[in-house]
Structure formats: C-alpha cells, structure tokens
Amino acid sequence: MKENKGNPLHLSSLNHISLVCKSVDESTHFYQNVLGFVPVRRPGSFTFDGAWLFGHGIGIHLLQSEDPKSMPKKTVINPKDNHISFQCENMGTVEKKLGEMEIEYVRQRVEEGGVNVDQLFFHDPDGFMVEICNCDNLPVIPLTGEMGLIKTGDYHEVKAVHVELAERMRKVRRVYFFYYDFHNTITEKHEFKYVAERIVAQYVFNEKGSHGGTEYGVLRNLVHLKHMPG
C-alpha cells in the first residue's frame, strides 16, 4: 500500500462498532443496562435480526449470529485481547457498580511519568472485552515527526484544547439530560437523547460541519450555555 500521511480519507469521527452476538436481546440488555446505551431505530429494510444502540458519542450495532452455538465463549479476561474502552468520571463508583451487578472483572494500573491510569476489564455476554478507565489522566503526546500534524512543542496547546472539549461535553450532557426529563414517553426520550447526542457530538468535534434541522440550532445554543439550567 502506498504510504500516506495526515488524514487522506478525511475522516471526522468514529460512527459505530458492529458486533455479532449469540442473542440480540441479551446483548441489548447488557449494553443498555450496564454501559448506558440507548436503543434507537434501525432501518426497516433490513431482513436480518439485530439492534442498534447509541451512547457516549458512538453507536453499537448488534447482529444476530446465524449459528450461535458455534460462537466461541471466552472465559479468561485478558487485558491484551481486542476491546473497546470507555472513559469514566469515577473509577471507584464503576468498580462498586460492577460488584453490585456481580460482573467479574480484572483490575489493572498503568504508571507512566508519575501519572496513574486505572483500568477495569470485563466481558460482554459474548466474551467481547470492555474496558472502563480514567485514561484522560495520561496525556496524548504525538511522536516527533509522526503524521506531520502536531509539533512536539505544541503539546500543551493540544492538551488545553482537549480539556476544553471535554468540559464542553460535560456541560452539554447536563443540558440535554435536563431537557430529557420533560419528554414523557419512552419513545420520545429515546428519540430526544439520540438526536441530542448525535448533533452535540457533531457540533463539538466538528464545528465546520452542517446540519439542516431546527434541533441543530437549539442544541447549538445549548452548547453556548444560553439556556443552561442552574
């Protein structure tokens, strides 16, 4: 493959992760009630069983296995295995909740330059690895000359932008959960949260993007905290 640098495909964000599962219902329950994802509408033209969920800025697309009995079952929790990782606000709270839900997990700590990163690893119903961490403690420092995007000396500026975006996302989450409470039905709640998260994620991480709906203008104002609840 011909070498390319930078962002040759002009990618903007991660859209979704697709997972084949033994039971769509069991996996939906896990991602909804353990990881906080929300079921959302999937295309009605699909002729195969599955489910779509959305949360934390990404989608999880579940696909029903055509031969569930042949799927391997992983029992050993190996942090070096393929996994998806989620940042959390409080590791102690996560560990306590995992214990209450009787979910087996493995704890690990990474120490780098005086910075500690705690990690908790556990499996979804099909043995796919999930990690919960406070990885934001560890700064993202580009290798010198790598990708030709960021000079090593610009690290502090990059970190400042990262912190600002994280803070804006926290404030936005407070806003849409506040307004979320005013939607009465379960369907309305799911629709509102889905639209809000997608629009907010697009706005915060891709300000030059466009969206043609009235909701975008409303959420844009919320991002600027013009209607911030106390």
Give the closest residue to 34 by CA, choosing from 99, 118, 92.
99
Active site residue 3: no
> Residue holding tokens 């033209």?
45
Backbone angles phi, psi at 124, to 5 degrees: -85, 180
Rounded (to 5) percent helix, strand, coil in the chain: 35, 20, 40
Catalytic residue among 111, 131, 167, 215: 131
Percent of the chain with pLDDT over 70: 61
pLDDT (average), residues 167-174? 58
187, pLDDT greater than 90: no
pLDDT (average), residues 170-195? 54
pLDDT, tens only, 79-120:
999 999 999 989 999 999 999 999 999 999 999 888 899 999
> Residue holding tokens 């919960």?
132
d(C-alpha 65, C-alpha 21), whole Å? 6
Name which residue leads in pLDDT, 77 or 203: 77
> Residue holding tokens 């599962």?
21
190, pLDDT greater than 70: no
pLDDT confidence bin for 147, thresholds 50/70/90: very low
Q: Which CATH superfamily is domain 72-138 in?
A: 2,3-Dihydroxybiphenyl 1,2-Dioxygenase, domain 1 (3.10.180.10)
Tally the C-alpha atoms within 13 A of residue 57's C-alpha that lie toward its C-beta: 18
pTM beyond 0.85: the answer is no
50, pLDDT greater than 80: yes
d(C-alpha 104, C-alpha 113), whole Å? 30
Beta bridge partners of 38: 54
- Helices 214-223 + 186-205 axis angle, to 10: 70
Question: Fold for domain 1-68?
Answer: 2,3-Dihydroxybiphenyl 1,2-Dioxygenase; domain 1 (3.10.180)
Beta bridge partners of 138: none
Per-residue pLDDT at 175 = 55
